[in-house]
Amino acid sequence: MIQPEFKPLIVILSDKLFRIPEYQRHYSWQSRQRHELFEDIKKLELAREKYDERTHFMATIVCLKTKDKEQVGSNTFYIYDVVDGQQRLTTLVILLKSISLKLESDHQLDEAKELNKLLVKDDGRLIILQNNHDNRLILRNYLKDGQKPEISSIRTIADKNISQAIKDCEKFVNAHPNAVKLLALVKNYLYFIFQSLEDKGAVYTIFEVLNSRGLDVDWLDKCKSLLMGLLYEYASSPESNDLFSQHLNELHGYWSDIYREIGLQNIPGHEIIRFAATLKEESGAGRPLSAEDTLEFFKNDCIKLSGNDLIINKIIENTVWLKEITSCLSRLYADKRRNAVTDITQARLLAVAIMLRKDLREEERDRLLEQWERTSFKIFGLFRKDARTKVGEYVRAAKKIRKDANANVDDLLNSISGIGSDFPVETAVEELNKHDFYRSASQFCKTHVENCPLR
C-alpha cells in the first residue's frame, strides 16, 4: 500500500488520468454541497489576505492505481480508478473548466490554454477518462468545447445534476473579480490527502473505514462497501485470486445496474437497503428496519453461515436482491399516474413486495396492484391521512405477500383490502360532498374505489 500524501490539487491532477468505474454512483452532488465548496474557497481567499502561507484541507481522495497507462506525446499518464472523492473531484474539474472559459473571455489566453491542456490532453483524452453512466457525454462536451447541454438532452437525474453543476460553477466563477487569482487558489492552495492503493480488495476495507467516520456518505454506498469488504475478507487469498476477481467483477456488474437505475430515477439509497432488509428479515415487526440496523442485518445474514463458499454465495445473493429492489422502486418512481399513493413510504414497500412475487402470473400481480392502489388511494387520497397511518399494517402485509407462498391470490387481496377496512368510502364521500368544490372530484373518487368488489 502506498502511503497517503498531503498534496495540492494541481499535483494530484498532474501526470494522472482518472477513471470513474461504472459500478460507482453517478454524479449526485446538489447545489448545497457545491455552495459549501465555494464558501471554503471564499474563506481561504480571505484568510490568505492576512496569512499568505494559509492552505485549506478539502478532503481525502482514495484511488486504485491500475496497471493501465496512456502515452500522450512524450508524457506518460497513469490511470487511477476513483474509489472515494469522485463527487468533489468531478466538481473541481468542472470548476476549472469554468475558470478556463472566464480566462478566455478576459483575454488571458495563455493561462486558459495551459489549464485546458490539464483538462484535455493533446490527443483529446479527458482528465476524467470515463464519467460513469449516462451523463458522460455532457461532461465530455463541456470539458472539450465548453458546450453546455440543451434542455432537451437532459433525460436523467444524473444529467440534471451535471447540468446544474455547470451552471453553479460558472455563476461562482463569473462573480469573482479576478479569474487568475481564483485559479491560483484552486490549483495551489486547496489540499487533499491522496491515498493510492494497488490491491483491489483493500479498496473496500479502506472505504468502509472512511464510512465509519460519520462522513456524509449515502447508506447504499455504505452497504456496497460492507458487502464488497466481506467478499474481500472471505474470498481473497493467494490460492484463489482468479476466483476472487471473477466474484468481484460479477458484483461490479450488479452495482453498475443498480447505479444506472438510480441515475434514471431519484431513488434514496437508504430506502433501497431498508426495503431490502425489511422484506428479508424474519421478525413480525411492523416497522421498516432503520438504515443502521439494515447494515447490521446484511452483515449478519452473510456471515451466519459456516464455510467461505456459502458466505460468498450469500453476499452475491444479497447484492442481486438489492438490484431487484432497486428495479422495482425505479418502476414505481417512474409511474406518474400513481404518484398520489407512491408518495407514501409504507405503500411503496407493499407495492414492491407485490412486484417481487415472480411465482404469480402477471394478471394475478396486476390484480394485487390494483387492490393496493385502491386501498392506498382511499386512505391517503379520500381520507387524506398522513404518512404515519397504517404503517404496521402495510409492513406486515408486505412481509406476508413476500414470504407466504401458500396463500392464494384471494387471501392476499383480502390482506391488502383489510388495511383500509377502518375507512369506509361512503364516509369520505359524504364529507367531501359538503363542499360543492369537491362534488365532481368526490364522485370520481367514489367510482374509482368502488369498482373493486374487495374494497
pLDDT one-digit tens code per residue, 305-325: 888 889 999 999 999 999 999
Beta-carbon contacts of 272 under 8 Å, excluding residues fewer than 6 positions away, are: 220, 258, 322, 325, 326, 329
Instruction: Write down the mean pLDDT value for the chain.
Output: 86
Mean pLDDT over 257-272 rounds to: 88
- Side-chain half-sphere exposure of 373, counting CA atoms within 13 A: 19
DSSP string, 135-153: GHHHHHHHHHH-PPPPGGG
- Residue that has been written with the C-alpha cell 413510504 in this structure: 345
- Residue 339: how many other CB atoms lie within 10 Å: 10
What does the alpha-carbon distance between residue 173 and residue 318 come to, in Å, rounded to a whole number? 45
Tell me the pLDDT band of 440, cut-offs 50, 70 and 90: very low
What is the chain's Cα-based Rg?
A: 26
- Residue 74: how many other CB atoms lie within 10 Å: 5
What does the alpha-carbon distance between residue 78 and residue 71 come to, in Å, rounded to a whole number? 9
Helices and strands (H, E) in the chain, number of each type: 20, 6
Which whole-number Å values give the CA distances from 37 to 9, 123, 348, in the listed order?
A: 14, 31, 35
Rama region for 124: left / alpha / beta (φ>0; ψ in -120 to 50; rest): left
What does the alpha-carbon distance between residue 338 and residue 347 come to, in Å, rounded to a whole number? 11
**50-83 per-position pLDDT tens digit:** 998 899 999 889 898 888 888 887 888 889 999 8
Task: Report pTM.
Answer: 0.81
What does the alpha-carbon distance between residue 356 and residue 349 come to, in Å, rounded to a whole number? 11
From the number of C-beta atoms within 10 Å of its C-beta (0-12, 13-18, 19+), residue 184 rates as: middle
**231-245 per-position pLDDT tens digit:** 888 886 655 677 888
**Closest CA relative to residue 129, chosen from 114, 140, 138, 118:** 140
What does the alpha-carbon distance between residue 419 and residue 178 come to, in Å, rounded to a whole number? 63
Q: What is the pLDDT of residue 201?
A: 65
Tell me the pLDDT band of 208, cut-offs 50, 70 and 90: low
- Residue 105: how many other CB atoms lie within 10 Å: 11
